Amino acid sequence: MAETFTPGNIIWCSGCGHFGVESALRQSLKNHSLEPHDTIVLAGIGCSGTIQNYIGSYGYHALHGRVLPTATGVAAANPALTVIAAGGDGDGYAIGCGHLMHTFRRNPSILYIVMNNETYGLTKGQPSPTATDRADQEHKLDALQMGLTIPGSTFLARGYVGHTQQLVGLMDAALKHVRDKRGFAFLEVISPCTTFNDNYPSWREILVNLDFDQTYDSADRAAAIGNYAELVATGKTPSGLIYQGSATTFEDATGVSAEQPMALQDLSVASHIDEYYKQMDVYAI
């Protein structure tokens, strides 16, 4: 067995929420008995965009905001891989927001973890689309609320690094959704930045844990939308599994196959030449 890279030294500050995400991801990969070589972690640009260096699987560092189309491409080329996209709120909800909306519609079987710290941490604390009380008074975006209203979305959840058991549970459920080829699993994780936006204490008040609501039906999209809007109106937001449903996946729609992945197909002329001549015969001269 070849010696491959040793995971790099973690660059995150002490107390960074991303440690919680990274350890939950490791735990969940273990819970699913996933082999490092069958897993690929793609990350965007930012502090969160270093997570792929620490896991030990295949890793790719994507362009700012473009982790979702890249991950969709990887999943299409080889559906046998477990594809995990990761990034921050700046990367995913600003420059990446268009891609997020279309990934909901497209529903490819990939996991997307957004580490939401309501700031651009790596560049030292500029307000991101999820920031509250900004000087320029732009209104705050809630990507899960947005996802609920986009047809094709099938898994919407929010975790918090302060609730580790719930986070691992959500990560397990998200990975299962993806490995069962049910489509796009979107997991936002509240992951505070201790250096530029330390808001750890505030989440106790803001997060309303759906796990404790016995009446909540995560399969009912319309009810979820109504419930969400009520919470937001009172300055709160839900955590836990917000919605899980079924919709045509990207794999179903395009016919990409895990049994015959495009990335591994035999491209030799010999194996395709008969088909070529058959197609040429269609044309009369």
Partner 1 sequence: MLEGIGNLGATEIPMVIVDTQRSGPSTGMPTKPEQSDIDMLVYGGSGEFPRIVLAPCDQRDCFEVSFQATNLSQRLQCPVIIALDQGIGQNSVTMEPFDLNDLEIDKGKRLSNEEVAAMATYKRYEITEDGVSPWAVPGTPGGMNLVTGNEHDEWGLVSTQAPNRRHMMNKRSRKIDLAHDLMPKARCGGVEGAGIGILSVGMVCGVVREVVERLEKQGLDIEILEPRTIWPVLDETKEFINSHDRTYVVELNHEGQLARLITSQGVATGKIRSIRKVVGKPYRPHQLVAEILERENADG
Instruction: List residues binding partner 1 (CB under 8 A).
Output: 1-6, 8, 35-38, 40, 50, 52-53, 56-61, 63, 66, 74, 78, 80-81, 261, 263-264, 267-269, 273, 276-277, 280, 285
Q: Is 214 exposed, middle or buried (0-12, 13-18, 19+ CB in 10 A)?
A: exposed
User: CA torsion sign, 205 to 209 to 212 to 218?
Assistant: positive
Pairing assessment for the beta strands 237-244 and 155-160 based on DSSP bridges: antiparallel
Contact 249, 181 (CB under 8 A): yes
Select from 20, 30, 88 the least CA-distant residue to 56. 30
Q: How far apart are CA 22 and CA 115, in angstroms?
A: 10
Tell me the closest approach of the beta carbon of residue 128 to partner 1, in angstroms: 20
Find the shortest distance in angstroms from Cβ 99 to partner 1.
13
**Shortest Cβ distance from residue 241 to partner 1 (Å)?**
29
3-class SS of residue 210: helix
User: Which C-beta is closer to partner 1: that of 80 or that of 229?
Assistant: 80
Considering beta carbons, is residue 233 or 285 the nearer one to partner 1?
285
Contact 147, 139 (CB under 8 A): no
Cβ nearer to partner 1, comparing 40 with 210:
40
Distance CA 149, CA 151 (A): 6
Q: Tell me how far, at minimum, the Cβ of 208 lies from partner 1, in Å.
A: 38
CB of 145 to partner 1, least distance (A): 30
Between residues 11 and 229, which has the closer beta carbon with respect to partner 1? 11
Nearer to partner 1, 38 or 213 (CB): 38
| End-to-end CA gap in the chain | 56
The length of the chain in residues reads 285
Q: Which is nearest to 47 in space by CA: 33, 37, 36, 61?
A: 61
Distance CA 185, CA 110 (A): 6
Looking at the Cβ atoms of 84 and 187, the one nearer to partner 1 is 84
- Nearest approach, Cβ of 179 to partner 1 (angstroms)? 15
Of 70 and 197, CB closest to partner 1:
70
Residue whose CB is less far from partner 1, 36 or 98: 36
CA distances from 222 to 68, 141, 187 (A): 26, 20, 20
Beta bridge partners of residue 113, listed in sequence order: 86, 187
Smallest gap from Cβ 181 to partner 1, in A, equals: 17
Minimum CB distance to partner 1, residue 49 (Å): 10
Do residues 77 and 257 touch, judged by C-beta distance below 8 A? no
